[in-house]
Amino acid sequence: MGGGLLPIAVYQSAFFSLIYRYREQAPSHIDLVRSVRLCTSNNNKNEGRTMAEPLAHDTLIQDSWRRCRAFGLDHQSAPSFDQLPAEGIRQLLESQHSLVQTTHQEVLPYYENILSNSNCLIMLADNQGQVLTSWGTQRFIEPKLARGFSPGASWKERSSGTNAIGTALACAHAVHIEHDEHFLKANRFMTGSAAPIFDAQREIIAVLDVSSDSYLPPSHTLGMVKMMSQTVENRLILNLFRGEHFQLTFNTGLSNLDSQWAGLLIFDESGQVLSANRRADNLLGISLSRVMIDRLFKVSLLELLNQPEGLPFSLQAAGRNRFQCLLKRPKQLPVQARVFNEPTPPPTPTSINLKTLHFGDARVEKALRQAERLLEKDIPLLIHGETGVGKEVFVKALHHASSRSRQAFIAVNCAAIPAELVESELFGYEKGAFTGANQKGSIGLIRKADKGTLFLDEIGDMPLPTQARLLRVLQERCVQPVGSSEVFPVDLRIISATNRALRELVQAGRFREDLYYRIGGLTLELPPLRERTDKQALFQQLWQQHREPTQWAGLSAEVLGLFEQHPWPGNLRQVSSVLQVALAMAEEQPIRAEHLPDDFFVDLKEATPLSTRERLDDNLDLNQRLEAVGGNISHLARELGVSRNTLYKRLRQHEG
């Protein structure tokens, strides 16, 4: 076995030897788990692991075992499963028909690779731990326990001891239960991962479980079952409203906008949020029940509803976070078996080259000049800059200008891949390497970039264990897939980027120092838009990039002046979003202030001259000005440098 699988090998060796030796000494189970994890931790101490995660898991198991003893169970007890009678099973399945059908028809088809594992069983249970149905094989199940895997059997801890379904219900979050972590010896032939499924009121309505007799590490199975449960939740929300209301999908970046981990909001024409998934709660940091959508984002309802459908746009939340979004309008269409629509990417130039990246800014020109000199050198580049400054476009231009331009360019957002799956995504995996592995295996993104360029964006968010494996790839120029002892040579250029201070992360122990020096042969700094001296030329270039062939009117002088004053916290990405909205609103007219989205003016407010803000707050002054322009709202909005929506709001406030 190669060095890449040492932690797994050590885990398996220690686990098997300790289980074999102590299997009949059930009370010493917790010490057994600690011993195994201490052994694993010692072998991974250079991979940044801490004892926090194992201790938290041990506490979970200990608490579950205490509950089992309180229920009067001991290790020799047989699981009772509390099987329902035939009529009870019929009523149970009838009441949960929608949940079962949604899972079977609209979710499982996207995870069919799990079923290709011959020793894998997927179970769906209700919020009482009663099995509704299962998919996959039951060949690994002990015959005398087969009734526990049929509809109506209960896996609550009271009747079945510590187990994935029952313990997930008890602690209300996803869990993985290893063989000897089951309280009852009778259940120790299997291992399982389970995740609760929540409804829109955040009440548990079901549990999804993946079980097998495999001893492989739990992270892949747990990551997969979390994704499956989130997908079920999303589909239940979408099916509940069936396209009758507005749907807003949002996430931290374009690359993960169509993921099941995206936030999902359903709202009506008045702007009231009718439903939302848990990811939306987490991203916005508040409870979303019956809240008005203009309280969540710095945008008016009218401006939001005017966003073009299927085209990504940017919204700033009530805090300082900015999200990429997609709007879907009410439609009476059949539900499609997909979580979210694929976002339509904005038009881009047919070719990206280094000459199109700057128009006279000295700092950008210096970064390009330095990067060009290293195009054919085996010296790694680290691109640093705020979110939205164009790091990926910069790296793409370098790739197209290099001798590798005819080979693959693979971009990976390290922050967008769930931590449980990042290693298998990057390094690939052998067929059957873990529960849920594709039957054919996967070569991984690193090998896909062979002969070309691998761009690791947001590398500061890469998990520490993955950093250790990446370091070996950089040192040895070989990659070892998960679950394989074979290594594959790779020839590729790796360029990394981050918006975080990696030196501070190194000092805090959250980023490997040796990897930092390995990826940062030369660090290039891309300045934020507000500090660039070529902004006007950039604005014109981005307008040219996003306009339709019939849109020739361009940007008015007042808008160019507002753009010059704007702080642009979202940088070039924000400019693109603002221009896309403005072009849609202006159609074939010149872009003026009233065509700009409201959140543009929120950011601009600090830079707006005091006299303008005072005039906006002065009721008498506003009314006099409106009379002076004959009641022409558009004319007055242009004069004040604000949008019509903002002006309408101020006038309504004064009237109230």
* CB-based burial, 108-139: b 16+ in 10 Å, e otherwise: beebeebbebeebbbbbbbbebbbbbbbbeee
Tell me, yes or no, whether 269 lies in a domain: yes
**One domain for residues 401 and 480:** yes
Using pLDDT thresholds of 50, 70 and 90, give the confidence band for residue 155. very high
For residue 141, pLDDT over 60 is answered with: yes
Tell me, yes or no, whether 112 lies in a domain: no
**One domain for residues 641 and 553:** yes
Per-residue confidence (pLDDT) for residue 634, from 0 to 100: 67
Per-residue confidence (pLDDT) for residue 630, from 0 to 100: 63
**One domain for residues 542 and 505:** no
Tell me, yes or no, whether 201 lies in a domain: no
**One domain for residues 650 and 544:** yes
Using pLDDT thresholds of 50, 70 and 90, give the confidence band for residue 157. very high
Tell me, yes or no, whether 385 lies in a domain: yes
Using pLDDT thresholds of 50, 70 and 90, give the confidence band for residue 111. confident
* Domain end call among 20, 41, 70: 70
At 508-563, the pLDDT tens digits run 999 999 999 999 889 999 999 999 998 888 888 888 888 887 788 889 888 888 89
Tell me, yes or no, whether 376 lies in a domain: yes
Strand partners, 135: 122
Average pLDDT, the chain: 80
- Angle between helix axes 29-43 and 6-22 (nearest 10 degrees) is 160
CA distance 368 to 397: 10
Assign residue 67 a region: left if phi > 0, alpha if psi is -120 to 50, beta otherwise? alpha
Residue 381, SS3 per DSSP: strand
How many distinct structural domains can be found in the chain? Answer: 4
* Domain end call among 21, 50, 70: 70
CATH number at residue 428: 3.40.50.300
Cα→Cα distances 177→212, 229, 248, 354, 391, Å: 11, 17, 36, 53, 42
Per-residue confidence (pLDDT) for residue 499, from 0 to 100: 92
**One domain for residues 444 and 310:** no
Using pLDDT thresholds of 50, 70 and 90, give the confidence band for residue 653. low
Neighbours of 378 (CB within 10 A): 7
Tell me, yes or no, whether 109 lies in a domain: no
Using pLDDT thresholds of 50, 70 and 90, give the confidence band for residue 31. very low
Per-residue confidence (pLDDT) for residue 169, from 0 to 100: 95
Per-residue confidence (pLDDT) for residue 221, from 0 to 100: 81
The reported pTM is: 0.49
Average pLDDT rounded to a whole number, residues 295-323: 87
> Considering only 373-387, 418-432, 561-575, which range has the smallest mean pLDDT?
418-432
Average pLDDT rounded to a whole number, residues 602-618: 54
User: Closest Cα partner for 304 from 344, 272, 260, 280?
Assistant: 272
**One domain for residues 572 and 539:** yes
Average pLDDT rounded to a whole number, residues 397-408: 91
Using pLDDT thresholds of 50, 70 and 90, give the confidence band for residue 7. very low
Tell me, yes or no, whether 622 lies in a domain: yes
**One domain for residues 394 and 517:** yes
Per-residue confidence (pLDDT) for residue 269, from 0 to 100: 87
**One domain for residues 396 and 247:** no
At 235-252, the pLDDT tens digits run 999 988 878 899 999 998
CATH number at residue 537: 1.10.8.60
CATH number at residue 261: 3.30.450
Give yes or no for a contact between 527 and 363, defined as CB atoms under 8 angstroms apart. yes
Average pLDDT rounded to a whole number, residues 343-362: 60
CA distance 392 to 571: 13
- Range of 301's domain? 242-328
CA dihedral of 387, 339, 306, 652, whole degrees rounded to 10? -90
For residue 61, pLDDT over 70 is answered with: yes
First to last CA, the chain: 75
**One domain for residues 303 and 400:** no
Per-residue confidence (pLDDT) for residue 591, from 0 to 100: 92
Using pLDDT thresholds of 50, 70 and 90, give the confidence band for residue 30. very low
For residue 160, pLDDT over 90 is answered with: yes
For residue 297, pLDDT over 60 is answered with: yes
**One domain for residues 513 and 562:** no
Percentage of the chain lying above the pLDDT 90 cut: 37
Give yes or no for a contact between 357 and 532, defined as CB atoms under 8 angstroms apart. no
**One domain for residues 383 and 467:** yes
* Domain end call among 70, 102, 126: 70
Per-residue confidence (pLDDT) for residue 114, from 0 to 100: 56
Per-residue confidence (pLDDT) for residue 140, from 0 to 100: 82
The residue behind tokens 């130039």 is 349
**One domain for residues 597 and 626:** yes
Tell me, yes or no, whether 364 lies in a domain: yes
At 252-266, the pLDDT tens digits run 888 788 888 899 999
Using pLDDT thresholds of 50, 70 and 90, give the confidence band for residue 115. low
